[in-house]
Amino acid sequence: MSAIRSLRGGRLSFRVSGGRCNSRIFSQRLHQQYPKMSTTTTTTTTTAPTNKRALDVSNINPNLLKAEYAVRGAIAVRSEEHRTAITLARGAGVPHDLPFDAVVSANIGNPQQLDQKPITFFRQVLSILEYPALLEVEGLFPGDVKERARRLLKDVGSVGAYSHSQGASGIRKSVAEFIQRRDGYPADPNSIFLTGGASSGVHTLLNTIRSSPKTGILIPIPQYPLYTATLALLNAVAVPYHLDEPNSWSTNVDLMREQIAAARKDGTDVRCVVIINPGNPTGASLSEADIEAVIDMAVEEHLVIMADEVYQTNVYRGEFHSFKKVLRNMQTRPGGEKYENVELASLHSTSKGMVGECGHRGGYFELYNFDEQVQAQIYKLVSITLCPPVIGQCLVELMVNPPKEGEPSYELYQKEYGAIYEGLKARSQALYAAFQNMTGVSCQDPQGAMYIFPQITLSKRAQAKALTEGKKPDEYYCLRMLDATGICVVPGSGFGQADGTWHFRTTFLPPGTEWVDRMHKFHEAFMEEFKDE
């Protein structure tokens, strides 16, 4: 709990117990003592109802209680309490007692929250889609913006209306053409499903694959917690396989096979392998040979492949290899008939890359080699939710079909896109260099995505202190960092890690380097404070 210690002399002071800063109490006290400073919070006394609520945690879905989602967990909640306290103090015109003036949300890949500017062409087209009367305003937008908006409006009718449950047909056709340009092989628009972000696609696919509580899904460790949380909600089995940290977090198919064998021996029906490439939280980018090895393993073990490729444009070393392209290449070689029935679902999103439009919730997945009747059931499942957000569908079309050379918007698009890419690449290397100089930290060079996942050596004293606080060691470290610096990162335990190792994930989305210096200073002080004697 936190409380206001004083407001004497126009200065706001906090008493913090356990490191928490409760913005609700702050707001109430501020209104009570300084009513002219706050007019939005009131305190009302009510009589407790005599009847009992129908729901409590003992009778809701037990699978929900088991689900965890670390990137928006307790540390992120506390960061928002700090942010609220700073905002309220500024609104009241009084200082605050936190040792920082801003919260840095490095816990989640949310580019535009961290000052990444939207692509002009995208927003211009979306503006017309939301308000078609802008088409009649002369000189407001370039001609290619208007032409694209007219084409999309012809396809969807109105962004305020339902679309086809699978997504607008013209947009799915654009996605298929994009995949063909990327991979050199045709794609079928009827096998493409537009989604409310890639997360929606993950839910759909796992709901389809799960047939009983014994259904097992092979997931990487560390992994994006969407997968473990969704499997918990579905009451299915997460079968973990560890990525090879010393080898740039690459896949190790021998370890995968061991995990599959052990799970099947315990009665788990392992049916699918999830690959995140480029990796979240690791920043790894798989080689073509790594992907081929996974596909061979999937054939031998009779597994569906789910390729989460939402960071495919965030590659800073080497190049991105899609699972679809590698699989099709393998099918064309001598003996390629063994791959003809490999089931592959690959996902993409408008939330990442240089687009960064998380809030518009656009994405898609492509099914390849799926049974027609299974695909029909997937269509039925997505139909239950009617359709993905139509404005998000349109944004997908813009992502896969940006301005072309010679069109009025091309030069500005290339400039903006390139600046975002180069900024991310430069910050990834700046953060990597900073970790190289921190005591007791080892870190793999980020090859892609938006994250670094450094390993930290925590002393026995630090681990013992975390235990007395009821925290995991890496969680305690991250909480201390947040309270000292305002920098919010996620402990490695939220993603999974090898026993006896401790990590944290940070994005390199926040602009500038000042926050990295704060992190470095905190880390060295923490290591000195808990140095084993």
pLDDT tens string 377-400: 999 999 988 899 999 999 999 999
Q: What is the pLDDT of residues 274-295, one digit of tens each?
A: 999 999 889 899 999 999 999 9
pLDDT on residue 326? 97
On whether residue 260 sits in a domain, the answer given is: yes
Q: How far apart are CA 473 and CA 503, in angstroms?
A: 10
pLDDT on residue 177? 97
504 three-class SS: strand
Which is nearest to 40 in space by CA: 55, 15, 23?
Answer: 23
On whether residue 259 sits in a domain, the answer given is: yes
Which of the four pLDDT bands, split at 50, 70 and 90, describes residue 25? very low
On whether residue 153 sits in a domain, the answer given is: no
Put residue 530 in one of left, alpha, beta given phi > 0 → left and psi -120 to 50 → alpha: alpha
Mean predicted confidence (pLDDT) in 495-506: 90
**For the chain, what percent of residues have pLDDT higher than 90?**
60
Would the pLDDT of 369 be above 60? yes
Alpha carbon dihedral 408, 410, 415, 419, in 10-degree steps, equals 140
On whether residue 497 sits in a domain, the answer given is: yes
Q: How far apart are CA 193 and CA 203, in angstroms?
A: 13
> Helix crossing, 120-130 with 390-400: angle to 10°?
150
Mean predicted confidence (pLDDT) in 222-228: 87
Q: What is residue 352's DSSP assignment?
A: S
Lowest mean pLDDT, pick from 2-16, 253-267, 480-494: 2-16
Q: How far apart are CA 507 and CA 76, in angstroms?
A: 14
Q: Please tell me the pTM assigned to this model.
A: 0.85
On whether residue 107 sits in a domain, the answer given is: yes
pLDDT on residue 456? 93
Residue bearing the bigger pLDDT, 224 or 180: 180
Would the pLDDT of 36 be above 50? no
Query: Exposed, middle or buried by CB within 10 Å (0-12, 13-18, 19+), for 503?
Result: buried
β-strands 344-349, 363-368 pairing: antiparallel
In DSSP notation, 254-321 reads HHHHHHHHHHHHTT-EEEEEEEESS-TTT-----HHHHHHHHHHHHHHT-EEEEE-TTTT-B-SS---
On whether residue 93 sits in a domain, the answer given is: no
Domain of residue 518, CATH code: 3.40.640.10
Q: What is the pLDDT of residues 395-413, one digit of tens each?
A: 999 999 999 999 999 999 9
pLDDT on residue 531? 86
Tokens in use for 484?
A: 């000292």
Mean predicted confidence (pLDDT) in 252-268: 95
Cis peptide before 222 (omega within 30 of 0): yes
Q: What is the pLDDT of residues 436-494, one digit of tens each?
A: 899 999 998 889 898 999 999 999 999 999 999 999 999 999 999 999 999 999 998 88
Which of the four pLDDT bands, split at 50, 70 and 90, describes residue 71? low
Q: How far apart are CA 130 and CA 345, in angstroms?
A: 32
Count the neighbouring beta carbons within 10 Å of the beta carbon of residue 439. 13
Would the pLDDT of 198 be above 70? yes
- Please list the residues that pair with 364 across neighbouring strands: 194, 348
The CA angle 314-216-248, to the nearest 5 degrees, is 35
Mean predicted confidence (pLDDT) in 17-27: 43
Would the pLDDT of 33 be above 80? no
pLDDT on residue 44? 52
CB 488 within 8 A of CB 106: yes
Which is nearest to 14 in space by CA: 22, 29, 28, 4?
Answer: 4
78 three-class SS: helix
pLDDT on residue 40? 42
Would the pLDDT of 43 be above 60? no
Mean predicted confidence (pLDDT) in 348-374: 93
pLDDT on residue 46? 56
Q: What is the pLDDT of residues 143-189, one digit of tens each?
A: 999 999 999 999 999 999 889 889 999 999 999 999 999 999 999 99
Lowest mean pLDDT, pick from 72-86, 443-457, 460-474, 516-530: 72-86
On whether residue 170 sits in a domain, the answer given is: no
**For the chain, what percent of residues have pLDDT higher than 70?**
90
Residue 208, CA atoms < 13 Å, CB-side half-sphere: 23
On whether residue 526 sits in a domain, the answer given is: yes
Cα separations (Å) of 173 from 47, 127, 381, 426? 59, 23, 21, 35
Tokens in use for 286?
A: 């798989």
Q: What is the pLDDT of residues 306-338, one digit of tens each?
A: 999 999 999 998 899 999 999 999 999 999 999
Mean pLDDT for the chain overall? 87
Would the pLDDT of 504 be above 60? yes
Q: How far apart are CA 292 and CA 298, in angstroms?
A: 10
Tally of domains within the chain: 1
Residue 268 structural domain: 99-139+208-357+364-379+406-533
CA 175 to chain centre: 22
Mean predicted confidence (pLDDT) in 347-359: 91
Would the pLDDT of 427 be above 80? yes
